[in-house]
């Protein structure tokens, strides 16, 4: 049957139409905002200022640096979480006592409220009385200024993010691992394949799609990461943890410069979309595209 004659069109078309109209309206409003100079604290009226906000963003060193930090964070968070996630999932795929308990416990970080997770890590990383520096002192390592040293702070937040979101990858990978036919793996082992070859030639190819999806979701989430940064460092010290997302927030809700904040957000959306398109086009297995 030709698709236009499919009677279900009467159900899905209005919904798609409504969603499309909403997105279009919001996008148009966002663009309108970017072309004006709306500031909640300004006593001057709203004026049309053309592309000035975009010019300002292009020459804004703070925005450029923030974008670089976002890229670094996304790259590191996504890759480490995916690699670590597979490793843990494979480990948990064996049979051992208490497996169910371990599986339940490993999900705790993911379901924890980000604010609680952020505060917990902030206190763990506290340079004076934090648990981590205490443990380090037991093995004779001098206290590390985790959140107060600009060259360390971003990685401290990264550790918290990895702790919180690796379980997500574990969860997806475990679900897929359970669908891999055991006889396939056993047949390979009988033929004398080493464990490494089994993992490399059988298990990983089967996990490929899942991992592609997991990496995609984690990458998108990392671009949007906000709560951990806000709770743990607020972008400091010396701007060392200010991502593009956090910068946009500061411009909007500290400076109340709504138009410029929208410009930053729109720019980030465009960059993310382009990056993800390129990524899915070249790096993802066919099934996901």
Partner 1 sequence: MFKAGSISRRVFTSVAVLAAVTTQTGVAVAQEKPFTGQRLSVLMVGHPTTDAVRKALPDFTAATGIDVDLEVVPEADSVPKMMLEFSAGSGRYDVVEASSIHVQGFVGSKYIVPLDDIATKYGQFYDKTDFVPAYLKPNVVEGKLYGLPLFGESSFLMYRKDLFEQYGIAVPKTFDEIETAAKTVKEKSNGEIVGITMRGQQGIQGVYIWASYLWGMGGSFLTADGKSALDTPEATKALETFAHVLREYGPVGVANMGWEENRLLFQQGKAAMTLDATVNGAFNEDPAVSTVAGKIGYAPVPVQTTTPKGGSSSLAVFNLHVASDSQQQEAAWLFVSWATSKQQQIHSLETDPNSGVTSIAAMNSEAFNKRYGAFKEAMLASLANGNPQYIPTVPQANELVNNAGIAVSKVLAGTTTAADALKEANELNNAALSR
List binders of partner 1 among 113-172 (CB under 8 A). 126-129, 143, 145-150, 153
Q: 53, 251 in Cβ contact below 8 A?
A: no
d(CA 133, CA 129): 7
Closer residue to partner 1 (CB): 122 or 218: 122
Q: Which of 149/272 has CB closer to partner 1?
A: 149
Q: Does position 84 bind partner 1 by CB under 8 A?
A: no
- Give the x-and-dash track for 172-201 against partner 1 (CB under 8 A): ------------------------------
Pick from 1, 15, 41, 101: which binds partner 1 (CB under 8 A)? 41
Residue span binding partner 1 (CB under 8 A) among the ranges 34-42, 67-75, 110-118, 207-215: 34-42
Minimum Å gap between C-beta 27 and partner 1 is 20
Separation of alpha carbons 289 and 282, rounded Å = 10
- Quick one: which of 19, 40, 141, 175 contacts partner 1 (CB under 8 A)? 40
Among 4, 43, 94, 179, binds partner 1 (CB under 8 A): 43
Residue numbers at the binding site for partner 1 (CB under 8 A) = 37, 39-43, 126-129, 143, 145-150, 153, 233-240, 250, 252-257
């Amino acid at each position: 049957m030709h698709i236009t004659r499919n009677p279900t069109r009467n159900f899905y078309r209005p919904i798609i139409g409504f969603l499309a109209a909403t997105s279009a309206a919001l996008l148009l409003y966002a663009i309108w905002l970017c072309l004006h100079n709306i500031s909640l604290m300004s006593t001057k009226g709203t004026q049309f200022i053309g592309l000035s906000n975009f010019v300002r963003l292009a020459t804004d060193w703070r925005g450029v640096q923030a974008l670089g930090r976002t890229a670094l964070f996304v790259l590191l968070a996504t890759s480490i979480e995916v690699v670590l996630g597979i490793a843990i999932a494979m480990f948990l795929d064996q049979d051992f006592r208490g497996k169910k308990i371990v599986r339940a416990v490993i999900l705790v970080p993911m379901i924890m409220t980000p604010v609680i997770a952020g505060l917990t890590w902030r206190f763990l990383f506290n340079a004076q009385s934090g648990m981590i520096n205490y443990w380090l002192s037991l093995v004779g390592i001098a206290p590390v200024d985790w959140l107060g040293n600009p060259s360390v702070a971003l990685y401290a937040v990264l550790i918290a993010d990895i702790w919180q979101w690796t379980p997500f990858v574990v969860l997806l990978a475990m679900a897929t691992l359970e669908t891999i036919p055991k006889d396939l793996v056993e047949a390979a082992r009988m033929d004398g394949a080493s464990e490494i070859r089994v993992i490399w030639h059988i298990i990983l190819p089967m996990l490929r799609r899942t991992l592609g999806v997991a990496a995609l979701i984690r990458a998108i989430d990392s671009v949007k990461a906000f709560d951990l940064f806000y709770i743990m460092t607020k972008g400091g010290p010396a701007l060392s943890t200010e991502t593009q997302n956090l910068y946009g927030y500061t411009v909007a809700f500290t400076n109340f410069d709504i138009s410029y904040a929208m410009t930053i957000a729109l720019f980030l959306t465009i960059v993310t979309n382009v990056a993800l398109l390129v990524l899915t086009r070249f790096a993802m297995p066919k099934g996901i595209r």
